[in-house]
Amino acid sequence: MQVHYLCLLFLFMLQPTLHFINCPDASSPNGQHRMAYWQWGDPLARHVVICVHGLSRQGRDFDVLARTLLECAADPVRVICPDVAGRGYSEWLSDPMLYQVPTYAADMLVLLRALQPQTVDWVGTSMGGLIGMAVAGSLGALQPHMEQAQANGHLNDMNFKLQHLVLNDVGPVLQWQALKRIGSYLGKPVRFATVEQGADALGHISKGFGPHTPEQWLALTRPMLRPDGEGGFKMHYDPNIALPFAAITPESTAAGEAILWQLFDAIQAPTLLMRGMDSDLLSLETAQDMTRRGPRAQLVQFEGVGHAPTFIALDQLEAVIQFLATGA
């Protein structure tokens, strides 16, 4: 009976549960917006792996990675996969111009305070990596002050250690042509008669994700679609996430690089940089620069993949698992 119970418990932990947290939002009539997140594993585990998705994606992108992390874990672990504001099951923002990294990073800090972890690993794809850089860079800059506060016995609500940071195909320099490519489809009104039709359409704009079996791609697609109320399907996100993205210019992108490099250089955690060898967003030059400054990222590249690896191929999973298993 005990063995049967433990088996059922383990199977339950290999499925995610949906949770919500309220984040401050001065633009909202009630002063907050609700962010959804998917939780895998032991809900009491003090070690947490945060997995944050890309610009137009959502938290179920990490299903395969989450299951693999749980299967390989020697100690209790929670895997937390947020739906960033405006995506998935999270609320849409009242002011669409707040769909930017500072808002998302602030939301993640609220989530981390609520989770109360002792140790954290961060895995961020594209936009999720930029959010991770903002969080990790801020924590790195604050680290001396946090250590002093702890030494003086003051309560610190961010009292956790960021053990590892995984940046998936993103860095401080973003290639303008890739941003233009993403902007060509982001937020456009689309309707699909079936999930399979949606999978075909998303496959066309997501060729950089690399090869997937039809079953793998369909599994990645289902959480990207929502019923449209007329028998078909629409995208899962607020179309207005495209508004601040459309306001980006080559000049503003270049101006933002200095801020991103400053955040990157402040990162204290060991960092793994994953790059698709055919990536049009993260250049090889930028990737190599990231191995020489700041946390001196360890670079791993994948053939036949562009922007961005999906953590489904075995070599991608192995790279993350092995890196997170290293001492920090």
Q: pTM for this structure?
A: 0.92
Q: Over the stretch 100-136, which tens digit does the pLDDT of each residue have?
A: 999 999 999 999 999 999 999 999 999 999 999 999 9
Domain ranges in the chain? 77-109+119-142+158-187+237-328
282 in Cβ contact with 297 (< 8 Å) = no
Task: Report whether pLDDT(328) > 60.
Answer: no
Percent of the chain residues past pLDDT 70, beyond the cut: 90
Helix (H, G, I), strand (E, B) or coil at 66: helix
Mean pLDDT for the chain overall: 92
| Angle at CA of residue 317, ends 314 and 322, nearest 5° | 120
Residue 63: which H helix or E strand, with range?
A: helix 63-72
Closest-CA residue to 53 (of 309, 322, 317): 309
Closest-CA residue to 268 (of 157, 146, 152): 146
User: What is the rounded distance in angstroms from the CA atom of residue 202 to the CA atom of residue 196?
Assistant: 10
User: What is the rounded distance in angstroms from the CA atom of residue 134 to the CA atom of residue 24?
Assistant: 18
First to last CA, the chain: 39
Q: Over the stretch 5-49, which tens digit does the pLDDT of each residue have?
A: 344 445 456 799 999 999 999 999 999 999 999 999 999 999 999
pLDDT of residue 268: 94
pLDDT of residue 149: 39
Q: Over the stretch 167-212, which tens digit does the pLDDT of each residue have?
A: 999 999 999 999 999 999 999 999 999 999 999 999 999 999 999 9
Residue 157: pLDDT band with limits 50, 70, 90? low
- What is the average per-residue pLDDT within 287-303? 98
Q: Over the stretch 44-103, which tens digit does the pLDDT of each residue have?
A: 999 999 999 999 999 999 999 999 999 999 999 999 999 999 999 999 999 999 999 999
pLDDT of residue 61: 98
**Sheet (strand 47-52) strand order:** 17-24, 32-41, 78-83, 47-52, 119-125, 161-168, 271-276, 298-302
* Side-chain-facing half-sphere of 111: CA atoms under 13 Å: 30
User: What is the rounded distance in angstroms from the CA atom of residue 210 to the CA atom of residue 307?
Assistant: 8
pLDDT of residue 13: 61
pLDDT of residue 159: 79
> Which amino acid, one-letter code, is at 84?
V
Task: Report whether the peptide linkage leading into residue 269 is cis, meaning its omega lies within 30 degrees of zero.
Answer: no
pLDDT of residue 7: 41
Closest-CA residue to 14 (of 72, 56, 85): 72
pLDDT of residue 14: 79
pLDDT of residue 8: 41
Q: Which CATH architecture has domain 77-109+119-142+158-187+237-328?
A: 3-Layer(aba) Sandwich (3.40)
90 in Cβ contact with 34 (< 8 Å) = yes
Percent of the chain residues past pLDDT 90, beyond the cut: 86
- What is the average per-residue pLDDT within 258-262? 95
